[in-house]
């Protein structure tokens, strides 16, 4: 085990399924976490990480209570994780809710109609909040 792994920090080569990470969050969401549900490799894009963002506070007028706390699926690049993740917080089983989004994404990706996020996780959360709050 490397010193970085021992301290709860990891290099990009250490990102793996089942890891629960702290990340550079939006203000007020410091307890939010990133869960790596699945890792796969694309010949064109390299490693693709399928993440859930947990314990967020995303305004969502389309649901009861008006607040989404879990965002189940985002396909992201290794670069996104490198610049976003801060500290390994533990392990977890995959979020069962990620599968539906994954399957939709995978079908579109295989047809060349979907890609992956390369921006910071907090920026992804912002973009989702902005999009779901459009009239």
CA dist 14 and 9 (Å) reads: 9
Strand order in the sheet with 19-23: 67-77, 46-59, 33-42, 19-23, 85-91
pLDDT tens for each residue of 3-22: 444 444 555 458 999 999 99
pLDDT tens for each residue of 107-133: 999 999 999 999 999 999 999 999 999
Q: Tell me, what's the pLDDT at 3?
A: 45
- Cα four-point dihedral sign 52, 55, 61, 64: positive
Break the chain into its structural domains and give their ranges: 3-132
């Amino acid at each position: 085990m490397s010193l970085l792994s021992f301290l709860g920090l990891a290099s990009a080569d250490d990102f793996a399924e089942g890891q629960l990470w702290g990340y550079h969050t939006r203000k007020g969401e410091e307890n939010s976490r990133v869960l790596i549900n699945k890792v796969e490799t694309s010949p064109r894009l390299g490693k693709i990480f399928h993440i859930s963002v947990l314990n967020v506070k995303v305004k969502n007028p389309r649901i009861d209570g008006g607040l989404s706390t879990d965002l189940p699926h985002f396909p992201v690049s290794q670069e996104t994780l490198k610049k976003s993740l801060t500290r390994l917080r533990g392990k977890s089983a995959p979020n069962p809710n990620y599968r539906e989004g994954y399957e939709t994404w995978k079908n579109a990706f295989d047809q060349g109609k979907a890609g992956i996020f390369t921006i910071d996780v907090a920026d992804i959360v912002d973009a989702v909040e902005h999009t779901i709050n459009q009239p």
